[in-house]
């Protein structure tokens, strides 16, 4: 079965049982890989009422058929489980080199079940699969863990691991990989699931060839594409994901002061990709097979924010800790980024929680006696102290580490106004008031508020995707057709997440046809564009069905009222509010979901899914 190694590793940590399971081609064709295949496994095997932090939860690491072969930007992997943060479908994905290395070690994915009696790590290599003691690693940060494991195993090993936060079951804990290059499967608390299993790390190393059905064809298909992508995404490469910082502030897309404020241009300029390139940027970082190189490696040689060479903050991190908290210091945000990476927590949720806490403090919900110190907008020192407390579950950090939804429910009253999440996941750094489609995309995203499960807003500005019927950019405030567009983009993005390809390819001129051609050349299959997108739809729906079993329905397909109803009155989207309800109605109809948001029987039948 070309493209695939054909094997899924099954590890039961309760008894140390390790099995190899054959990946059936029929299943692979229907769910591809990545979070698609993981969803199929979880839907079939995991009871929806399982406590996410119990041994019964499944933690799945999965690659896709294009990972590691000679297609651009194919070096990602997915991490999936029932989420302890949201209580529904959880998934995150990460770049770097780990996914490719796992395949080279002979596996398309790993399904971990059970809980080890004491801390362990997995060491997967040409010689076999070992469950090793990790007692000496417990408490170590992700940078240290990476180094020690490489020393103990193979200097070329690639390590995915949790930091102290995952160990402590912090609900926003991430699974980190590639050491100081600090790639993160950040969202929905997958690190806490890993911690709940006493699994500190998975180190992989291999030399196997990844089979390709038609090498010649693939070569032909990808010829010149690297150059094209690199050129088209040149700005992304040069200034990283923060290349958009000034533009998003101007357009009203940047969330500021916990989503209350409309403008913050001086701050945005200080945090911009351009400013980073002029100051702390040491070099670019490329994930495996990447031709864009949006990753930042930064270094701060001296001063208050002295920082050794390591991964720098992404746009999302600069938004979450920067504009959301009004911290306008690149050094401070880099320091916050380092803390999150070392402890292993999601920077988006962490920054959003800090912003929530600052607002709660400002409005008297949290007091100095609760926190131990004052919390103020723009106070980097306080943000650092608080982030460390969250990462360590210390003091008020224990409550906050549950995420803004649960924290607000505990604090009650007006705190509920300040908790900016959907389905329990803190919103990422794009504002539905700037791009209408984001409203319905966040509201219906299977993992909770997520811009990447739909990645719709680029179509409301500059991007066209002819295979989906979008030949010219759409108006960003118009709601007509945006429900349908969101559904279509979610199906496409579900395929990206199944193939575990980098989504920035779409900014590099790569369209659906490229993906289909690559997939066919690598696997020998004969997907049409239509079948390819139908597969995305199947995957989107199986995730939805897992969520439905967890209790999700129309009532949950919404967003904080601050986003839906609060006009900011200044900036590039000053007077705009998204008519999410109109888009949602269109979305449901297009999706073939009923009035409660549940896929109809005929739709499931059409997709070959069973209830």
Residue 363: CB minimum distance to a copy of itself, A: 8
What DSSP character marks residue 593?
A: B
Residue 309 or 409 with smaller CB distance to a copy of itself: 409
User: H or E segment at 605?
Assistant: helix 601-607
Residue 413 or 608 with smaller CB distance to a copy of itself: 413
Q: Name the one residue in this structure whose structure tokens are 């295979």.
A: 467
Residue 168 or 476 with smaller CB distance to a copy of itself: 476
Residue 387 or 446 with smaller CB distance to a copy of itself: 446
Helix, strand, coil abundance in the chain, percent, nearest 5: 45, 15, 40
Of 74, 37, 75, 41, which is closest to residue 58 (Cα–Cα)? Answer: 41
Question: What is the spatial distance between Cα 298 and Cα 301, in angstroms, rounded to a whole number?
Answer: 10
Residue 105 or 443 with smaller CB distance to a copy of itself: 443
Residue 380: CB minimum distance to a copy of itself, A: 25
Residue 417 or 570 with smaller CB distance to a copy of itself: 417
Residue 560: CB minimum distance to a copy of itself, A: 8
CA 342 to chain centre: 18
Q: What 3-state class would DSSP assign to 8?
A: strand
Of 419, 409, 460, 418, which is closest to residue 439 (Cα–Cα)? Answer: 460
- Cite the beta strand spans of 274-407 per DSSP E: 281-285, 295-300, 307-311
Residue 348 or 579 with smaller CB distance to a copy of itself: 579
Contact partners, residue 3, CB within 8 Å, separation at least 6: 65, 66, 69, 210, 211, 212, 213, 519, 522, 523
Question: What is the spatial distance between Cα 422 and Cα 438, in angstroms, rounded to a whole number?
Answer: 12
Residue 188: CB minimum distance to a copy of itself, A: 22
Residue 429 or 579 with smaller CB distance to a copy of itself: 579
Residue 61 or 580 with smaller CB distance to a copy of itself: 580
Residue 481: CB minimum distance to a copy of itself, A: 14
Residue 268: CB minimum distance to a copy of itself, A: 22
Residue 375: CB minimum distance to a copy of itself, A: 18
Question: What is the spatial distance between Cα 507 and Cα 510, in angstroms, rounded to a whole number?
Answer: 7
Of 582, 583, 604, which is closest to residue 593 (Cα–Cα)? Answer: 604
Question: What is the spatial distance between Cα 193 and Cα 179, in angstroms, rounded to a whole number?
Answer: 20
Of 14, 17, 15, 100, which is closest to residue 61 (Cα–Cα)? Answer: 100
Residue 476: CB minimum distance to a copy of itself, A: 16
Question: What is the spatial distance between Cα 485 and Cα 586, in angstroms, rounded to a whole number?
Answer: 10
Residue 228, CA distances (Å) to 224, 471, 472 in order = 6, 20, 20
Helix and strand totals (H; E) in the chain: 27, 17
Residue 465 or 577 with smaller CB distance to a copy of itself: 577
Residue 365 or 380 with smaller CB distance to a copy of itself: 365
Question: What is the spatial distance between Cα 165 and Cα 189, in angstroms, rounded to a whole number?
Answer: 10
Of 405, 550, 401, 557, which is closest to residue 51 (Cα–Cα)? Answer: 550
Residue 137: CB minimum distance to a copy of itself, A: 41
The two tokens of residue 175 are 């699974």
Residue 585: CB minimum distance to a copy of itself, A: 5
Residue 556: CB minimum distance to a copy of itself, A: 9
Which residues face 320 on adjacent strands? none
Burial (CB < 10 A; 0-12, 13-18, 19+), residue 515, is buried
Residue 50: CB minimum distance to a copy of itself, A: 17
**Secondary structure of 47-67 in HEC code, one letter for each residue:** CCCCCCCCCCCCEEEECCCCC
Residue 558: CB minimum distance to a copy of itself, A: 6
Residue 409 or 530 with smaller CB distance to a copy of itself: 409
The two tokens of residue 593 are 């979901």
Of 71, 429, 428, which is closest to residue 226 (Cα–Cα)? Answer: 71
At CB < 8 A and 24+ separation, what contacts does 551-555 make?
551/88, 552/88, 552/423, 552/597, 553/596, 553/597, 553/598, 554/588, 554/595, 554/596, 554/597, 555/597
Residue 245 or 324 with smaller CB distance to a copy of itself: 324
Q: What 3-state class would DSSP assign to 546?
A: helix
Residue 566: CB minimum distance to a copy of itself, A: 5
Residue 51: CB minimum distance to a copy of itself, A: 17
Is the separation of the CB atoms in 333 and 318 below 8 Å?
A: yes
Residue 514 or 576 with smaller CB distance to a copy of itself: 576
Residue 391 or 598 with smaller CB distance to a copy of itself: 598
Residue 444: CB minimum distance to a copy of itself, A: 11
Pairing of strands 199-204, 120-125: parallel
Binding site for a copy of itself (CB under 8 A): 260, 363, 412-414, 416-417, 551, 553-555, 557-558, 560-562, 564-567, 577-582, 584-585, 588-589, 595-598
Residue 135 or 565 with smaller CB distance to a copy of itself: 565
């Amino acid at each position: 079965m070309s493209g695939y190694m054909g094997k899924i590793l099954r590890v039961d940590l309760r008894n140390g049982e390790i099995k190899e399971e054959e990946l059936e081609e029929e299943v692979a064709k229907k769910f591809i890989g990545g979070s698609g295949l993981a969803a199929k496994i979880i839907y079939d095997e995991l009871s929806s009422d399982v406590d996410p932090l119990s041994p019964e939860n499944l933690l799945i690491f999965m690659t896709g058929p294009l990972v590691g072969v000679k297609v651009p930007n194919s070096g990602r992997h997915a991490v999936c489980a029932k989420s302890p943060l949201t209580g529904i479908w959880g998934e995150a994905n990460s770049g770097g080199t780990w996914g490719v290395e796992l395949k080279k070690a002979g596996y398309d994915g790993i399904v971990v079940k059970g809980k080890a009696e004491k801390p362990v790590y997995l060491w997967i290599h040409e010689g076999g699969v070992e469950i090793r003691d990790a007692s000496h690693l417990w408490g170590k940060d992700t940078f240290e863990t990476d180094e020690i494991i490489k020393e103990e195993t193979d200097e070329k090993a690639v390590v995915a691991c949790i930091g102290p936060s995952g160990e402590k079951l912090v609900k926003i804990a991430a699974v980190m990989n590639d050491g100081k290059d600090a790639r993160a499967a950040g969202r929905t608390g997958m690190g806490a699931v890993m911690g709940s299993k006493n699994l500190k790390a998975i180190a992989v190393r291999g030399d196997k060839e990844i089979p390709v059905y038609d090498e010649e064809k693939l070569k032909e298909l990808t010829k010149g594409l690297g150059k094209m992508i690199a050129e088209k995404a040149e700005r992304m490469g040069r200034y990283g994901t923060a290349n958009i910082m000034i533009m998003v502030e101007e357009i009203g897309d940047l969330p500021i002061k916990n989503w209350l404020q409309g403008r913050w241009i001086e701050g945005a300029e200080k945090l911009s990709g351009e400013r980073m390139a002029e100051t702390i940027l040491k070099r670019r970082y490329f994930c495996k097979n990447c031709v864009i190189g949006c990753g930042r490696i930064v270094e701060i040689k001296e001063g208050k924010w002295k920082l050794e060479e390591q991964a720098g903050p992404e746009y999302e991190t600069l938004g979450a800790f920067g504009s959301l908290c009004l911290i306008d210091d690149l050094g401070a945000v880099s320091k916050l980024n380092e803390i999150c990476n070392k402890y292993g927590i999601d920077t988006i949720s962490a920054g959003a929680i800090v912003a929530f806490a600052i607002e709660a403090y400002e409005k008297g919900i949290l007091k100095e006696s609760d926190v131990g110190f004052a919390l103020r907008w723009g106070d980097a020192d306080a943000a650092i102290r608080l982030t460390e407390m969250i990462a360590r579950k210390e003091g008020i950090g224990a409550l906050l580490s549950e995420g803004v939804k649960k924290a607000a429910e505990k604090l009650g009253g007006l705190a509920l106004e300040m908790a900016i999440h959907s389905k329990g996941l803190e919103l990422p750094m794009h504002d539905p008031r700037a791009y209408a489609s984001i409203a319905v995309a966040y509201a219906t995203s299977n993992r909770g508020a997520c811009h990447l499960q739909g990645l719709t807003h680029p179509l409301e500005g500059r991007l066209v995707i002819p295979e989906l019927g979008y030949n010219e950019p759409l108006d960003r405030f118009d709601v007509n057709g945006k429900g349908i567009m969101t559904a279509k983009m979610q199906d496409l993005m579900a395929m990206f997440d199944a193939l575990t390809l980098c989504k920035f390819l779409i900014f590099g001129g790569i369209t659906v046809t490229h993906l289909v051609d690559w997939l066919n050349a690598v696997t020998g299959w004969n997907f049409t564009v239509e079948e390819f997108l139908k597969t995305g739809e199947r995957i989107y729906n199986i995730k939805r069905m897992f969520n439905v079993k967890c209790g999700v329905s129309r009532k949950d397909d919404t967003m904080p009222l601050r986003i839906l109803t609060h006009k900011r009155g200044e900036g590039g989207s000053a007077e705009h509010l998204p008519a999410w309800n109109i888009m949602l109605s269109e979305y449901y109809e297009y999706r073939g979901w009923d009035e409660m948001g549940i896929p109809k029987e005929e739709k499931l039948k059409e997709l070959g899914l069973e209830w």
